[in-house]
Structure 1
């Protein structure tokens, strides 16, 4: 990673005061003694376009700190009681859906990244440059990153979007300024998603059609994120529109026949399906030595489905572990960026929900023919809307494992009695369950945010 980004990282020491301002300036994870601190603005504020690009190009702070708690709580894997007992308090509680408010990085890291983008956006208007295109890309990138992190937080700390209650349901704190005097206040769900969508729609107008590097935002990335957000809102018309917009600019799929079935790391970082590269830290609960793939899920892959050997490896006890991460790393870090396979699946699902069977079949078959052994895939032809949708949703789960997408899917599908699901865990005979609509589908806000800033805590 260091080698890849050596030409793009900025001088951390030079900007350490910027990050000190960012970390200490956010009231919900700073101590009271810092709230009145007023660093020298000439030291703390970036002053050139190079400075702003430097902040946004720092991969480990901008791209690599998305929350992973939702995946720890999801249903694509299980832990043995012994492995569960070795985990820290937070993941142990996430795994069995218990109330827990010492959240730490899953709450604070995205907000600190958001604050970096606000520093960039607030400074941009004060910086003079004749290169308007460069300035636009900086602005568009900051808006995209801010929206992506707000969205990630909303999947954990707010209810699933419901248009009937979105104006009264409690959302998250939306931070649109680096001004530490602005007290954090929770928005409604409607306001939360309106802000996310606004940032993304503004970014589309500013970003390039193709990025210089895949860890930088682009138009297809912004279109793809819009498709993801609208899908989570069950707005299938707009999700379809933006998935199509993204795929019109970039639509490469990997033919899995060209991928090694025995490789420890089968996919490279920045592979052909990646449009925008981002990831989480590596949660211990999801390490290959602990997380076992759900047996029913694994059995759903047929013998000619290359995903069965490329995405998984067999453990000595007969269980299976996941190895098909698009991060290009041999650890539990999760790919959270935008990739074309997700967009093909959004196109397929939204097409059938919008009563366009032909497009739905074209999209799902275009994806699946790349996943099966050469010459063995029989295109899906069932035009019954109910059965086709069920097939597409199953393939979505099978192709997008360990990307923090499953939790959002569970939350939105629980709103439909035909697709709602009760989850269960078994630890030495003790059964834990998570029923559709449970309050435990919303994580508690970090206790420091509540104690210091007085935020309303989730139930």
Structure 2
């Protein structure tokens, strides 16, 4: 089948070495799909579309630590990632895992869009659905890249700093361009807004995009942009389509991984690949984070387990296994976004009501079936906001949210923090810090890629 040839092309790009790949120009005409079935097959390949997001979205955050033994077993590159070394030196394998893989969904979606422009025998129904799915795939992929390889969006600035690297087509002869931050978000939003017009309200399974997933992702992105009115608007649109929460009191905690992949809360199934420092057997959950869960909070046992005395591991993946961090939108995330935006817009009581809906499904039930949650009330909006942000971290741990939250919250001195790591080297504790708004919150793109970039049209 033609789609196998296209995936072989992408595999060859990754495996033959970055410089060779960048210098040589394969002939895509030999692998062009010609039928709607070929295009669906490309977008249905979950390994290529749903599981190629960069591990950088998780590795830099403060939700975990490494002991000296785990740190010593990492490659030099991932040791440098863990201590936030500013000038990372990528090997070919690192470029493949953190960069080329992240662009595989984008390149595949570009092939689909170009094929739709070229083929006139595809039905209007198929054309609409394929176009919508391709746009969503690109929107999500670029949104993760915007939180790792682009500078943070700041609503109080012109956002002219370094943004994402944009691929206009699947043609390797066409140079990529690096947008500024403002351009990056404008284009990502445009992709998702168009996708939302084309996709069905829900999908047959959560590996496929839908209108509800588009709205959820737009809500997330507008939160990053500190546009709370639009973020609230899209969270409510998404929740109007799907507001189903898992009652954690009904989850069987006996399996090592209590949650199944593509569960009822999952709006779109996506996970990052190559988060080498956060693997279950490598990373220890931050003691400060673990201690923030109260005993009747079921997340404390469903998310975590004792690996050995004094070492807590994470098991709450919405993937059914430890294969990377889940990064897709969920219904729970929508409630958190809605609550935060309500409070930020002055509706503190409404925000806490929204939080109560989520947390009642997370806390242990009493003998009479009522929740053991004692939801606090706040007369001061900032106090409510701090509570919601704390709960956001606890709910979305190891789901690709913390790094993005650190980046946006550091812009507000009320919530800015310096995060620290300590490594025992030769019997001495060596401390590393990442201050607010440090340039290391933006990962460097590989030099081999940067040298090949074209000029950015203004």
Fold conserved (TM > 0.5)?
A: yes
On the 8 A contact 1:224/1:246 being kept in 2, the answer is yes
Displacement, 1:40? 6.2
Structure-2 separation of matches of 1:231 and 1:320: 31
Counting matched residue pairs gives 441
On the 8 A contact 2:192/2:214 being kept in 1, the answer is yes
Secondary structure at the counterpart of residue 314 of structure 1: strand
Specify the alignment match of 1:170 in structure 2: 162
Secondary structure at the counterpart of residue 313 of structure 2: strand
Q: What stretches of structure 2 of length at least 5 have no aligned partner?
A: none
1:93 paired with 2:89, answer no
Specify the alignment match of 1:160 in structure 2: 152
On the 8 A contact 1:143/1:202 being kept in 2, the answer is yes
- Work out which of the residue numbers 41, 46, 59 in structure 1 matches 2:46: 59
Secondary structure at the counterpart of residue 225 of structure 1: helix
Distance 1:416 1:404, change over 3 A: same
Structure-1 separation of matches of 2:373 and 2:175: 56
Structure-1 separation of matches of 2:150 and 2:122: 42
RMSD: 2.1
Distance 1:40 1:70, change over 3 A: closer
Between 426-435 and 259-268, report the one with greater CA deviation: 259-268
Displacement, 1:204? 0.2
Displacement, 1:135? 1.7
Specify the alignment match of 1:255 in structure 2: 247
| CA offset digits 1:50-102 (Å, max 9, x no partner) | 11110000011000111112311110110101111101222211111002041
1:388 paired with 2:384, answer yes
On the 8 A contact 2:25/2:172 being kept in 1, the answer is no
- Work out which of the residue numbers 308, 316, 323 in structure 2 matches 1:324: 316
Structure-2 separation of matches of 1:49 and 1:187: 32
1:402 paired with 2:398, answer yes
Structure-1 separation of matches of 2:7 and 2:295: 51
On the 8 A contact 1:139/1:206 being kept in 2, the answer is yes
* Superposition TM-score, scaled by structure 2 size: 0.92
1:268 paired with 2:264, answer no
On the 8 A contact 2:421/2:433 being kept in 1, the answer is yes
On the 8 A contact 2:348/2:378 being kept in 1, the answer is no
On the 8 A contact 1:107/1:153 being kept in 2, the answer is no
Displacement, 1:36? 5.6
Between 428-437 and 179-188, report the one with greater CA deviation: 179-188
- Work out which of the residue numbers 198, 216, 222 in structure 1 matches 2:214: 222
Structure-2 separation of matches of 1:166 and 1:19: 39
On the 8 A contact 2:143/2:221 being kept in 1, the answer is yes
Specify the alignment match of 1:6 in structure 2: none
Specify the alignment match of 2:57 in structure 1: 70
Specify the alignment match of 2:231 in structure 1: 239
Displacement, 1:455? 8.7
On the 8 A contact 2:235/2:334 being kept in 1, the answer is yes
Displacement, 1:154? 1.2
1:365 paired with 2:356, answer yes
On the 8 A contact 1:25/1:35 being kept in 2, the answer is no
On the 8 A contact 2:35/2:122 being kept in 1, the answer is no
Structure-2 separation of matches of 1:332 and 1:110: 16
Specify the alignment match of 2:335 in structure 1: 344
Secondary structure at the counterpart of residue 315 of structure 1: strand
Specify the alignment match of 1:8 in structure 2: none
Specify the alignment match of 2:430 in structure 1: 430
Distance 1:166 1:110, change over 3 A: farther
* Superposition TM-score, scaled by structure 1 size: 0.91
| CA offset digits 1:400-427 (Å, max 9, x no partner) | 0001110000000000000001000011
Q: Give runs of aligned pairs for residues 1-150 of structure 1, distance below 5 A.
A: 14-19=2-7, 21-22=9-10, 30-31=18-19, 35=23, 37=25, 39=27, 41=29, 43-98=30-85, 99-102=87-90, 103-104=94-95, 105-129=97-121, 131-150=123-142
1:377 paired with 2:373, answer yes
Displacement, 1:211? 0.2
On the 8 A contact 1:257/1:370 being kept in 2, the answer is yes
- Work out which of the residue numbers 257, 261, 276 in structure 2 matches 1:284: 276
Secondary structure at the counterpart of residue 401 of structure 1: coil
Between 125-134 and 91-100, report the one with greater CA deviation: 125-134
Secondary structure at the counterpart of residue 392 of structure 1: helix
